[in-house]
Amino acid sequence: MSFQVLKSDDSQHIVMGWGSVSISDGELITDLQGDQIEPDELEKAVFEFMSNSRESGMMHEGQPIGHVVASLVTTPDVVKAFGLPEDLPVGWILGVKVTDDAVWAKVVSGELSAFSIQGRSEREAV
């Protein structure tokens, strides 16, 4: 499953969208690599990333091209507390300030139209 960019702000070079979705329509989502992330594990991973890094790369390679400036993990408790629609997917919404002009041009052109998160975990057979 890929997650499209939902909004971009040309004046600030900020792009927003879903970084990952764990559950949608009541079903655990399988990503393009065949992985599933339980909501509690996604939440822990996002909080650790936001506490220790916040850097964003391009296609999992090279030097950082920006940094995360907005982050919301949409667990059922958060959705309820903020009065958001109950059918909102359980996942991670993020905003990235792109500091590399060449990469920003690819966002604007649509060449880069989705986020892909990178991380390490222990795989378990499902």
Chain segment 59-102, per-residue pLDDT in tens: 777 788 899 999 999 999 999 999 999 999 999 999 999 999 99
What is the model's pLDDT at position 35?
86
| pLDDT at res. 6 | 65
- CA 28 – CA 39 distance, rounded (Å): 9
The whole-model pTM stands at 0.84
More confident residue, 31 or 41: 41
Structure token pair of residue 125: 């057979």
Q: How far is Cα 1 from Cα 116, in angstroms, rounded to an integer? A: 10
pLDDT of residue 89: 96
The pLDDT-based confidence of 1 (bands split at 50, 70, 90) is very low
